[in-house]
Amino acid sequence: MMEHLVTGLTYPGEDIKASVCYLYGKLYSAPSAAERLCIHFTERLCDLFLATLKNAQTRELQLNCIGLLRQLLKYDNCVSVIMSYSRKGADSTSPELFEDHPLPLMLKKLLLSRDEILQIASAQCISAVLVHSPAKYASAFIHADIPEFLFECLFCMSEILIWSIYCCLLLLTEEQLFFSKCYTVYGIEPILRSLKEILLLNNTELQKQGLLLFTEVLKKQPVEIKLFANNAAFRDAINVLLEAVNSPVLEVAGEAMKAVAAILRRDHVNLPPIEYGELQKLVEGVLKRCNDLSLAPFNRRFMGQLRGRHQNKAISQQGQFLQSALESFRNACRLAVECQNDPVAQENAFTAPNSEKKDTLKSFSEFLMRMSDSLCIPIVMKYSERAVRPALMEVFISTLCILFNIMPHICKNFSIKLATCYFIRLNLELKAKFCTGQSNPALNQACSSFLHSMCLSFHSSLEKMVDSSQEDQEISELLQRSLPELNFSVLESLSLLSETTDSCSLDETLRNHQYSLLLLFYVAFSQEDRFVPEVELFSAIRSFLLSVQDQGDCPPPYVFKAVLYLLASCQDKNETLDVASLAAVRRILDVIADLSLVYVHHPLMLKFFLRYPELMKRFGHCILQLWFSCEDYSQIESEEAVISDPAVFLQSFHNLNSFLSMLKGNHSALLMLLDLIYFSTSELVHKVLITLKTFLKLNEDIYVCDLLRNQFLQILQKLLVENSSTTLPVNQNLLLSLNLLFLVQLRYIKERELDSTDFRLLHLVSNLCGKCSPADHEILQPSLNFLYWSLQQTTPSSQQRVVAMLFSNTPLLELLEKLLHCTWMAASSSEPAFSSSGEALLCSSWLLTASLLTQQHAHSAEVHHIICLDVDKFFTALAFRKEKPLLFFASILQFLRAFFRQNLCSSFVKFVVQQGKEQSTEDASLYPLALDHVLSLAIHLQNLLVQRDLLLSQSAIGCLEVFLAYLQSKNQSIACHIASQPWNKFLLITLLDGGKNSFLQPEILRLVAIFIRYQKTTFFFQTEISRILEKAANSKLTDLSDVTVSTLRSFLLQVQSGTYQTDSSQTASVQNLLENLPSTSQSHSIHQGMVYPLAEYL
């Protein structure tokens, strides 16, 4: 029957041929029958069938032939026989042989037909052939230009046809000839267009198949053949991928992620100019799609078996999706690194001149760093809370390794941020959990590379005293050898660190592992990632030190630096190091010799050395030198920062604050600081002096002051010898030393007897002042303050010697006179003649002159130089001006008060009156003053009182009191006139602030007492006196301050003296108040004449 059946294909009628093909199709659909008919096909059927297929004209015969062909193509033998005919034609140069039975040409003919069914069938047949062996059969179809016609068929709307073509093309991509003949270059546009169309459909499988084809094309495209002919095509590809990435179907988006990873290849994007903006858009879209991914909920309590399987599947799918996205991001980072060495890839050469360059490699690299920080790292860490996939983490960690090389100049900040986010801990945990033995070698290598990069980046970012290129190389080699083998948990790592070997031999591998662990712990702890228990780590390091000591070994400096830092970091939670461990530390430091190789600039390191006297005695000076050499004091020199808000100052300068707290109670360290002044560089001495100055301002320790004072004599002598020129140029260290000297002086609140050191310091400072000019503000300011305080804060016996020493120094007195004369210059000019430091110097000059004036009168000291002051200019300078500090007026009033007490007659100071000026009778009685001076002084005092400054008010009232006493002795009528002026009442009303006890303010009480003492009538102040008595009677006297009680007593005695006419009730009230006033201590009046705020001008 088979013989008769095959002859049916020779009949001319195509209907008979169609029937025969149909019967053969049914027969070959059964595998058992096909096997029996194998020889029949080879010997009889094959030729006739291919001829029939080639010459078929009717649609029925074409379809039945294709149906039979699809059945035959299921079997390897049939495919081999059919394609042997095709290869004969394909491989021959003879057109006659090529046209014999060429199946590829027949199928191409069907592809060219407008019949969609035939096109589908043809594509399916091509796939059926290729699926057996693309390597054997693909070339025949490629030589027949089948790929070109397949790409043309993509311009259709049939989903089945598109699917079939995708399948054909996928199989063709396995043959290199498909790419070398540039079919992909021809077909990339149809692929993109078809993808754009099918992404609008709901056929998920078709979308996945199309994206898979695109991915394979991108992956296998030869580097030397550019896939995208122009930037427009590349932008189209980016837009298609973005649309696919944003697909709501996770499987489709996952395939798109793979395509994104494939397109981020140098040869795909290297189109001048490189579209960095498009790449940014693509990468950002990928990461945002991951960020929008809702992670599967994780609830163990309500998880059944079925639900648990579904949840695990969802988590696994999401993990695979994230892994594909991370591969895309990794390829983008790798692309940025590859472009660094290509000048053409740096920026867009077609950018217009003088316009902002946006599409540059730098901007792309910065973008990648931002994306890693804001999206990549948070997404992965969020997913890792639910599941940890080794493959995913391998991609993630390897991506971070690439990021180290993207922007080398920010590598330090990047590594620090990763370390502070516990990435060293994460990598060690991954290695311990997944990389033991030979498991996950890729993850192990990625984690080891990451830790290697972290350590090197951190080490290279440290400030180094010497060149460390050789050291960097040694660390790199050590870590490369050891890190792949360090797959231990924390406890296992500590055990390894504590492990010792036989004292007769040294296990180099063990030592290398220990060194690497110490370096890793050091980097982690330096960034506050204390994932190792500090007590156990401290103990392990002690064991390590003892092992090193027993072996006589000496770790490299970079390892011992880690040891010292870790000991310092863990010290607060542990006991003191034992003698043996300390001996090991000392021995290693002695061997290393250069402490800069092991020094880490951190307060904990300094605190560690200060804790052990044995270490400080041997290495203290060197450690302190290293500390100061690394400190930046440029901002600390802002004096106002310390004075105005110490809390903010201490918070802003953490290192200085920590060091100052260490100095408290550590007098040996203070002595070492003083030693540094003798043999250190000028810059380092400057920092030491600033530290001591700040320490004294923030701490009141008299013992420390005694300690420092005894050393200052030698320090000043050394600095003065170094600055012995006659012009005395400004030397910052000398200035700081003088400021320190005065700060030490300020700490002595009580009077004390001066010793020989004090007098020698006085001699040095006073002689220094005599060599200065009025322009040397910075030297004179602390020096005059020191002299002033020495006069005020000492016992009478010492005071007499101080006065004699200062009055014997004629250059000093001449300088004082010049400084005082500078007051007229500042007062007469329309603009300030002095800076704030100059104004402060005038204050110090007036205060020192006032003190000298008082003490000269008290001790009848011999004067070798008289200070002459122009009386007119002096009283003009008292006029209140807003630009002048209030302390200036308080200081000059202190001088005037002292001068009035001596009735303006002194062998030290005198007022000079202009000659030839007419004098009235009143002027003659007031000499050396004139009536104009008296009236102007009264007005000036009133103006100063209304400024409502406590210090200035006290000085003005004190000056007013002695001023009226002076007038009373010279001309009573003028004194009465000044005290009885109506504006005195308005002045009093102005000073009353309306407070509950405003009438009992000491300034108010003193002022009223002064006025009623020198008035002929008390008519103006009857109301005020009554209110004062009333307020006092209603107040709880024991709650009043000592100053208020003392002033109130003086006021009541003044009222009781008889000047003021009181009625019987007021008399009784005054007497009752005097009897009930509590007693007061005398401490408040000891220094009543001193002005304390000089410390503000240090």
Coil, helix or strand for 981?
A: coil
pLDDT over 50 (residue 518): yes
Average pLDDT over residues 917-942: 86
pLDDT over 60 (residue 97): no
Average pLDDT over residues 929-938: 91
Omega cis (within 30) before 273: yes
Cα gap 69→72, rounded to integer Å: 5
Contacts of 1 (CB under 8 A, 6+ apart): none
pLDDT in tens, 49-79: 888 888 888 989 999 999 989 999 999 989 9
Cα gap 403→372, rounded to integer Å: 9
Average pLDDT over residues 492-504: 82
pLDDT over 80 (residue 858): yes
Check residue 44 and report its DSSP letter.
I
The predicted structure's pLDDT at residue 1070: 83
- The proportion of the chain whose per-residue pLDDT surpasses 70, expressed as a percent, equals 87
Other CB atoms within a 10 A radius of the CB of residue 975 amount to 21
> What's the first-to-final CA gap in the chain, in angstroms?
124
Coil, helix or strand for 627?
A: helix
Which of 103-112, 639-648, 952-961 has the least mean pLDDT?
639-648
pLDDT in tens, 812-851: 999 999 999 998 875 554 444 456 778 889 999 999 999 9
Other CB atoms within a 10 A radius of the CB of residue 907 amount to 13
The predicted structure's pLDDT at residue 730: 58
Query: DSSP readout, 814-841?
Result: HHHHHHHHHHHHHHHSSS-SS-HHHHHH
Task: Give the dihedral sign, CA 1051/1052/1057/1058.
Answer: positive
pLDDT over 90 (residue 507): no
Q: In this structure, are residues 747 and 707 in contact, taking their beta carbons and an 8 Å threshold?
A: no
The predicted structure's pLDDT at residue 819: 93
pLDDT in tens, 626-642: 999 888 877 676 544 45
Cα gap 1026→1024, rounded to integer Å: 5
Cα gap 273→915, rounded to integer Å: 91
pLDDT over 80 (residue 960): yes
pLDDT over 50 (residue 1086): no
pLDDT over 50 (residue 88): no
Check residue 912 and report its DSSP letter.
E
1075 compared with 706, residue with greater pLDDT: 1075
Average pLDDT over residues 266-279: 87
Tell me the residue type at 423: F
CB environment 31-60: b (16+ within 10 A), e (fewer): eeebeebeebbeebbbebbbebbbebeeeb
Tokens linked to 379: 């997404």
The predicted structure's pLDDT at residue 213: 96
pLDDT in tens, 378-419: 999 999 888 899 999 999 999 999 999 998 888 888 888 999
pLDDT in tens, 1026-1043: 888 888 888 888 888 888
The model's confidence at residue 992, banded by pLDDT at 50, 70 and 90, is confident
pLDDT over 60 (residue 441): yes
The model's confidence at residue 153, banded by pLDDT at 50, 70 and 90, is very high
pLDDT in tens, 237-246: 999 999 999 9
Tokens linked to 890: 């308080």
Average pLDDT over residues 546-566: 92
Average pLDDT over residues 574-593: 92
Phi-psi region of 432 (alpha: psi -120 to 50; beta: other; left: phi over 0): alpha
pLDDT over 80 (residue 1093): no
Average pLDDT over residues 326-343: 92
Average pLDDT over residues 323-343: 92
Omega cis (within 30) before 928: yes
Average pLDDT over residues 886-904: 92
Cα gap 215→45, rounded to integer Å: 41
φ, ψ for residue 44 (rounded to 5)?
Answer: -120, -45
User: Whose structure tokens read 């170094």?
Assistant: 722
Query: DSSP readout, 524-555?
Result: HHHTT---S-HHHHHHHHHHHHHHHHHHT---
Radius of gyration of the chain, Cα coordinates, nearest whole angstrom: 49
CA angle 577, 581, 583 (to 5 degrees): 115
Contacts of 717 (CB under 8 A, 6+ apart): 764
Average pLDDT over residues 208-222: 95
Which of 12-16, 33-37, 456-460, 498-502 has the least mean pLDDT?
498-502
pLDDT in tens, 724-779: 544 444 567 777 778 777 777 777 767 788 888 888 888 888 988 988 889 888 88
- For 251, counting Cβ atoms within 10 Å of its Cβ (0-12 exposed, 13-18 middle, 19+ buried), the class is middle
Tell me the residue type at 455: C
Which of 90-99, 158-167, 530-539, 907-916 has the least mean pLDDT?
90-99
Which of 505-514, 847-856, 997-1006, 1010-1019 has the least mean pLDDT?
1010-1019
Query: DSSP readout, 297-342?
Result: P--STT--HHHHHHHHHHHHHHHHHHHHHHHHHHHHHHHHHHGGG-
| Continuous H helices in 8-145 | 14-28, 31-36, 38-40, 46-55, 59-72, 76-91, 95-98, 103-112, 116-130, 134-143
Average pLDDT over residues 855-881: 90
HEC readout, 230-274 = CHHHHHHHHHHHHHHHCCCCHHHHHHHHHHHHHHCCHHHHCCCCC
Which of 266-280, 369-383, 528-542 has the least mean pLDDT?
266-280
The model's confidence at residue 263, banded by pLDDT at 50, 70 and 90, is very high
Cα gap 221→215, rounded to integer Å: 10
Cα gap 836→400, rounded to integer Å: 55
Enumerate the β-bridge partners of residue 909. Answer: 867
Average pLDDT over residues 561-570: 95
Cα gap 927→924, rounded to integer Å: 5
- The proportion of the chain whose per-residue pLDDT surpasses 90, expressed as a percent, equals 45
Mean model confidence pLDDT for the chain: 85
φ, ψ for residue 347 (rounded to 5)?
Answer: -155, 170
Cα gap 782→744, rounded to integer Å: 12
Average pLDDT over residues 867-879: 91
CB environment 66-77: b (16+ within 10 A), e (fewer): bbbbbbbbebee
Cα gap 785→791, rounded to integer Å: 10
Which of 105-119, 278-292, 491-505, 1049-1063 has the least mean pLDDT?
1049-1063
Q: In the chain, helix, strand, coil percent, each to 5?
A: 75, 0, 25
Q: How many helices (H) and strands (E) does the chain have?
A: 59, 2
pLDDT over 50 (residue 101): no
pLDDT in tens, 158-211: 999 999 999 999 999 999 999 999 999 999 999 999 999 999 999 999 999 999
